[in-house]
Structure 1
Amino acid sequence: MKPVIVSVVAFDRISPFHLSVPCLVFGEDRSDIGLPPCELRVCSGEPGPLNTKVAMGLIASHDLSGLDDADIIIVPSWRAVDERPSQALSAALRAGKARGALIVGLCLGAVAIAASGVADGCEITTHWLHADRLRDLYPAVTVTPDVLYVESGNVITSAGVAAALDCCLHIVRRLWGAEAANQLARRLVLAPHRQGGQAQFIERPVAKRVTTDAFARTIDAVLAMLNQPHDLDSVAAMAGMTRRTFTRRFQKAFGMSFGQWLIERRVALAQQLLETTQRPVEDIAYEAGFGSPVSLRQHFAARLGVAPVQYRRAFAA
């Protein structure tokens, strides 16, 4: 059987952990669990030895010509969201996509994928800390920040460090079936598929306000009483504004509607209570202003991709 050629891009100051993930998944003989043979190549367009982010160096086995006939090309990370890849690497990624290779960007590797143009018109993801900047830099791609990985044609990208493992397991599942992926997950002591996406990890700080006028005092009052009902008319009246004026000012200050913001703050409060207390979900639902456990579960799952009970298991102190 002809081996599947998996080429992984290395570069100066790479994180050894990022590089190790595809090497772990595709670099060992897994024929006993039904996986085909893979030829793993570590490729670099930079002269070696390469430095890493820790006290060690490495020498790539191939230059960028090792991407020329690869079935899967993986960029396991990248140095910075604002740094573009070399013209040679970009050209190799474009050529790979053109011949039908699977192009994979893990974590910040999505930057190289987007900058090369191979993801134009595609949905991609990256670590949530860099999603907004990636969207600003490359408007031809659609950045989805709340998933662990996303597939768009023959372009696959993943979120932060641990999500690279989820993504590589997805590739195994896509190419060789669920049973092989499940067997490999057992070998690696991993869940075959994690619940939810990276939305549950995204920090949602309250927007800073520097004014102390009636509008700001009203927002503070709502935050202090999230367990109470708050409709747009009553809140606008509290601020001494018409509904239209309040809506316009709120949108300008927060970039969303009052209703959206209120749900976001209630979900954030529920997250805090689930993490730091052992109170029943029913009590948390009422304190956060959802009115019922059903409403809490619906809004929680819609925004974070997991149920409140699953979230508590993962994050409770």
Structure 2
Amino acid sequence: MLFFDGFTPRRRRGRRRRIGIGSAHVGGHMRIAVYAFDGVTMFHLSIPQMVFGTVSRLGLADWRVSLFTTASISSLTTASIRTSEGYVLSGLGGPESAREADVVVVPAWFADGRAAEDSLRSLLKEAHNRGASVVGLCLGAIPLAEAGLIGGRRATTHWRAFEPLAREHPEMRLDESVLYVDHGDVLTSAGAASGLDACLHLVRARLGSQAANEVARQLVIAPHREGGQAQYVEQPMPRYPDDDAIGRTMAWALERLAEPMTVKRLASAAHMSTRSFIRAFREATGTAPAAWVRAQRVREAQRLLESTGLAIEQVATACGFGSAVTMRQVFGRVLSTTPSAYRRRFRTTSPRSPSPSRASPTQPRRNTARTHDN
């Protein structure tokens, strides 16, 4: 198999009810332990440190990130590891760092998909059993699966690892259509840079949209990319080239979200047959047209709920849901919340009139795993 991932810990005392990765937890103290091992890449190891460390540097919350190994460490020594690039990292913590963490992150794993050592599996089980959240970025889903933390639930990982991971763990429901999957107690992400999306998702879930956007701006990364699961963060994306039929159609649809938007209508706007359009759209964006339209409507509704005082029914109409009841149902499926609850949690400005502008369409993905409409 391939690649490495990161992890983030969350403080728990006793066996209290989990505050899922997908629920808000504004401010406060949190300990995040990231597993470091010989051969890990600096890129994967740095993702959780950059994102969660920025939370503290910006004064948004007291989040403390530490690296740990599974080696026993005496009071007179500290652990060290050598990255795949040849850098030696010293001063790492031992297993106790994971045992005290609120979130434990496995930022990656070996490309050959080797089995995780017993000590790591035990630490992950311990953390999960006491109520900490466990995160597997990229191939970090492999140790989580071996620790029995995923079971028959839905998960994701780097697309090239899907086939071998499915053979080793046929009970898992691997989903290639998402950037990350959040069960509250366990979070897995797809390959490489999607770890940034997963970590920003955690920031948004704990601290709200404004905090996540501040972190994203500081790191000069997009606050959010579509992942197909409950996600809250805004999603500014570069516009696809205007001379591309799919890109032009996406831009056209974004200006008409309040109107009925069937796949047949989209295909007509692109001057293509329905079948050809669906195939071309999937190839360009990695998702189905209906799923993309739904995501854009949800995203626009999020923007209006956060930044305007429009009534819920008005938001539903402006975004093409047709009724507040339909929008509530979609919010429940996609975001695991209601429009009213979302507004209470994430309103970032005083109520004002809505801006007529809309974000640009999602940047089409190339050479990635195929997706399907959930």
TM-score w.r.t. length of structure 2 = 0.55
Deviation of 1:31 (Å): 6.3
Query: What residue in structure 2 maps to residue 140 of structure 1?
Result: 171
Structure whose alpha-carbon radius of gyration is higher? 1
**Aligned counterparts, 1:47-58, within 5 A:** 48-58=79-89
Q: Does 1:117 align with 2:142?
A: no
Measured in 2, the distance between the counterparts of 1:302 and 1:313 equals 12
Tell me the C-alpha RMSD between the 2 structures.
Answer: 3.6
Q: Match of 1:58, SS?
A: strand
Query: What residue in structure 2 maps to residue 25 of structure 1?
Result: 51
Contact 2:39 2:110 in 1 (8 A): yes
Q: Does 1:126 align with 2:151?
A: no
| Higher RCO (C-alpha under 8 Å, 6+ residues apart) | 2
Measured in 2, the distance between the counterparts of 1:2 and 1:283 equals 51
Q: Match of 2:64, SS?
A: strand
TM-score w.r.t. length of structure 1 = 0.64
**Aligned counterparts, 1:217-256, within 5 A:** none
Query: What residue in structure 2 maps to residue 302 of structure 1?
Result: 288
Query: What residue in structure 1 maps to residue 33 of structure 2?
Result: 7
Which residue of the other structure, out of 98, 112, 122, is the alignment partner of 1:67? 98
Contact 2:56 2:64 in 1 (8 A): no
Measured in 2, the distance between the counterparts of 1:196 and 1:28 equals 23
Question: What percent of counterpart residues are identical?
Answer: 33
Query: What residue in structure 2 maps to residue 168 of structure 1?
Result: 199
Contact 2:281 2:289 in 1 (8 A): no
Contact 2:55 2:215 in 1 (8 A): no
Which residue of the other structure, out of 65, 68, 76, is the alignment partner of 1:43? 68
Deviation of 1:160 (Å): 1.1
Unaligned runs of 5+ in 2: 1-26, 73-78, 229-239, 250-266, 294-359, 367-374
Say how many residue pairs are matched: 238
Deviation of 1:88 (Å): 0.9
Query: What residue in structure 1 maps to residue 183 of structure 2?
Result: 152
Measured in 2, the distance between the counterparts of 1:145 and 1:313 equals 16
2:114 counterpart letter in structure 1: E
Contact 2:138 2:158 in 1 (8 A): yes
1:7 counterpart letter in structure 2: A
Q: Deviations over 1:213-232 (max 9, x none)?
A: xxxxxxxxxxxxxxxxxxxx
Measured in 1, the distance between the counterparts of 2:186 and 2:57 equals 26
